[in-house]
Structure 1
C-alpha cells in the first residue's frame, strides 16, 4: 500500500491517493482535481474509487467531479442527503479496492454523518480520519448548528475511542484537517505525521478520562470560523463541478477605472508594502502568498457572491483563481499587472503610512484610536493599552463603531491589519498601518493592558 499526500496548505487540509500499485482510492479530494489526476498518472495507477469522510464545511469537494471523470465508484455515507448518485456506505461495510480492503467506520462528531476509513493491504493499516481524530486534537463540533454542538462534542469523544479500538496501534493516521484549517479544534500539535498508538498517549480527546470535562473544555476553546463555511456543505450536497482555473483576458483600463469608480470589489494581490505606498483608490489589499491565508480571509471578509476583480502578476492571479475556486468563488475577472499607473492611467491612486512599533510610539497622538483587528480570543489573551477590538472579519459590518480621527491599525503579524487599513481607507477614513508582530510590541516599549484573572 502506498499513500500519496496531496497538500492544500492554503486551507490547511490534505487529500490522499491510496493505491496498491495498480488501482487507487482517493479520499477527500479538493475541487481542483487536476492535481489528483497528475498524482495518479505519475504513480501509474487508475482511480477506481473516490471517498468522502463527510460533507465538507471548509471547501468545495472535487469528489463528485473526479469520480465522474474517471468512471470511479463514489463512496458517500448513505445517511447524507445528497442530490447525486453515489455508492452509499454504512458503518462496518468492507469495500475492495484492488488488493486493498477499505472498512467504513461511523465517526460522528465533526458532522452527524462523518465516517472514517481503515485501509489495509493485509500487512499494514492506514486510518483516514477526515475531521474526526486529528494530530493532537479532533475536528471542531460547532459547524452544524449551535443547538447540536454539545451533542456532537459527546459524539466526537466516543467516535475517536471507537476508531482507535478498531485500528491497529501501528496504523498510520491520515486526517484531512489539522494543518491550519479552521475545521480543527485545539490544541493541534503541528505534527506532519502520526500513528494511532502515538495519539493514544498524546491526544487530549483520548487521554482525558472525564468526558464532561473534555466537552466543556473543547467548546470553551472554539474560536470564530469563516462565514463562507455556511455555503460549503450545501454546495457539496449538490455534486459540484470541477473548478475552472483558466486566467481570463485582462480587464481593459477604462473598464477597470469604471469598476473602481462604481465601488466594485477590486482586490490587489501585491504584497502589503507595495500596496501601502501606491494603489488604486478604492482597491483592497489581500496580499497573495507567503503563508498569508489569502483564501480564508478574502472569503471571510468580503461580501459573498459579488463581482470580483483581481489585480496582480499573472502568476499570482493564476494561483489566486485556483485557490478561490476551492471555496466556490468562481471565475473572477483579472487585471494583469503590478503597476497601477500602467494598468489604468486615468484611475485615482492612493497611499497610506506603514509603520513599526517605534514609529507608532513616536508619532501617534494619545487621542488617536488604536484598532486591534485580531480575533476576540486573541484580544482577550493579551492586548495593547487603550486599544479597541474589531476583528477583521467583522469590520465591514461595524465600520460605524470605529472612533473618529486617524486610525492606527494592527493585528498579529501585519497581514490582517493591511487588509483592514485598505478597507478603512476605502470607507474614507484616515489610516496608519502598523505592520509589525504583536509579540514584539512589549519589548519595543508599547504599553500593554493589565490582564484580569
Structure 2
C-alpha cells in the first residue's frame, strides 16, 4: 500500500498526501469540513486513498485530475462508480466518461472551499493546476506535472517533435504559477522517483516562495535558456507511458475491487501450457531466491516499490503473465501494483511455487551472486542503470546498456561470462534474466552496487558516459 503523509502547508486546510514511492507520485485527500473530501490525481490503486479517508471519517465527493497521466491509470472513474464522486478535469482533455470539463479560470464550489482551474500546459497540452482557496484566501495549488519541487515535469512524453513547443508552454506556465502569493503551498503530483522528472531526493511539497528562492528553472528569465535546460537530459522512460494517457482519456474500466488482488493457482501442467502459448513467467521473489534456482527463461522482477515500473517495461504488453512468488509475498500487493499501470493479463501463479516445479522433475537454472570484493577480472561487467547513474560513477571498463533497452539489445551482445551491476542488485537480476532468456550463459549479479565495490576495493570509480 502507498505510504501516507501529511502535505506541508501554512494552512490548516492542508491535504493528506498519499505517496506511491515506486512511481514517485503523490495524490491528495482534502477534508472539506463537512464530512466530505476532495481527491486530486488518485491512482487506480485506491487502497491508500480509502485508508486515509476511512481514518479521517470522510466520504469522497469530488475528484480532480490535473492531466492525462502517462505513468499510471487514474482512479477517478472508479471513485465516480463506487462513491458517486463528481469528477472535474480539463475540458480540453476530451475525456469520454462523465465529468465536469473545466476551462481556464473556472471555479468549483466545494462547500466553503473553492477550486480554481489554471491552464498550465507543458507537461501535457490540456494540463490544469488547481488553486485551492478558503473563501478569498489562497491556500495551495495542486500543480500536477507543471511546477514540481526543484524542477518542472518533462515535456517529451507526447513525442520528441512536440517537446520544444511544450517546453515553451511550460516556461509560461511556471511564470504564471510563480506570480501566486509566496506563502501558497505547492502540491505536485510528480516527485522524486518519477520518470516524469524530479530531482532525486527532492521534497514532495513546497511553497511558491521557496520555489522562487531555490528552483533553478524559476531563476531563468530567458525562454530559450529555459528550454535548453529543461530538454537537456530528461532520461529514458518506460514505453508503456505511450499507452496510458489514451486509456485515461477514454476512462479505465471499473474494477471489481473485491476480486482484484487475487491470483488463480495454476498447476505445473497449466503453467507449461501457458508458456507454450507465449506467456511470460515473472519471478517476483527476492534476488537471492531467484539466483539460487528459478524456472529457465523466467523474468526476475522482485516485488518491491518499483515492481510496476519494471513489469510494464520488461514484459511485452500483449502477453499473458504467470507469477512465481514466495509464500510470504502478498498477492494483492502484486496485483494492485500491476493494474495501477494497466497490466490486467495476470493469468495466475504457479501453485505451491518453485517447489511444485522441482517436484515435477523439471529443470531449474541459477545465476551467481558476487560480493563487491570478489569480482573475477575475466568477466565482462555490464551496468544496466540509467544514463545519469552510470555517468556519475561505474566500475572501470564497464559496458553500459540501460535495463529498459536490454531486451532489444541482448541479441547483439556477445555471449561471454558476464557480471551484471546496478545500484543494489534488483535491476541486475532482471537484466541477467533477460540475457538468460536470450541465450546467454555464465551470468552473475553483483550484490550491491558500484559504491560498494569502491568501498570494498579502495579503488576509484570511472565517471562519464
2:195 paired with 1:182: yes
How far is 1:56 from its partner? Answer: 0.4
How far is 1:326 from its partner? Answer: 0.5
2:386 paired with 1:375: yes
What's the TM-score, normalizing by structure 2?
Answer: 0.89
How far is 1:452 from its partner? Answer: 6.8
Aligned residue among 213, 222, 246 for 1:210 = 222
Instruction: Assess if the C-alpha contact under 8 Å between 1:135 and 1:189 holds in 2.
Output: no
- Go from structure 1 to structure 2 and tell me whether the alpha carbon gap of 1:92 and 1:133 turns closer, same or farther (over 3 Å shift): same
Matched residues, number = 445
2:398 paired with 1:401: no
How far is 1:381 from its partner? Answer: 4.1
Aligned residue among 422, 428, 434 for 2:439 = 428
- Go from structure 1 to structure 2 and tell me whether the alpha carbon gap of 1:19 and 1:218 turns closer, same or farther (over 3 Å shift): same
How far is 1:241 from its partner? Answer: 2.3
2:33 paired with 1:15: no
Gaps of 5+ in 2: 1-12
Instruction: Assess if the C-alpha contact under 8 Å between 2:90 and 2:103 holds in 1.
Output: yes
Q: Which residue of 1 aligns with 2:286?
A: 271
2:154 paired with 1:154: no
Query: Which deviates more, 343-352 or 168-177?
Result: 343-352
Pairwise CA RMSD: 2.3
Q: Which residue of 1 aligns with 2:330?
A: 316
How far is 1:371 from its partner? Answer: 1.5
Counterparts of 1:421 and 1:301, CA distance in 2: 12
1:352-411 deviation line (CA, Å, top 9, x unaligned): 211022221xx342xx43222122343344333332222111111112221132122112
How far is 1:189 from its partner? Answer: 5.0
Counterparts of 1:383 and 1:446, CA distance in 2: 14
1:403-430 deviation line (CA, Å, top 9, x unaligned): 1321221122222111111122223321
Counterparts of 2:458 and 2:363, CA distance in 1: 36
How far is 1:262 from its partner? Answer: 6.1
Counterparts of 1:37 and 1:222, CA distance in 2: 33
Q: Which residue of 1 aligns with 2:93?
A: 80
Secondary structure of the corresponding residue to residue 211 of structure 2: helix
Counterparts of 1:389 and 1:169, CA distance in 2: 44
How far is 1:247 from its partner? Answer: 0.6
Counterparts of 1:17 and 1:239, CA distance in 2: 21
Q: Which residue of 2 aligns with 1:117?
A: 130
What's the TM-score, normalizing by structure 1?
Answer: 0.92
Instruction: Assess if the C-alpha contact under 8 Å between 1:373 and 1:417 holds in 2.
Output: yes
Gaps of 5+ in 1: none
Instruction: Assess if the C-alpha contact under 8 Å between 1:32 and 1:243 holds in 2.
Output: no
How far is 1:5 from its partner? Answer: 1.5
2:65 paired with 1:52: yes
2:317 paired with 1:304: yes
Q: After the TM superposition, which segments of 4 or more aligned residues of structure 1 sit over 6 Å from their partners?
A: 446-449
Secondary structure of the corresponding residue to residue 441 of structure 1: helix
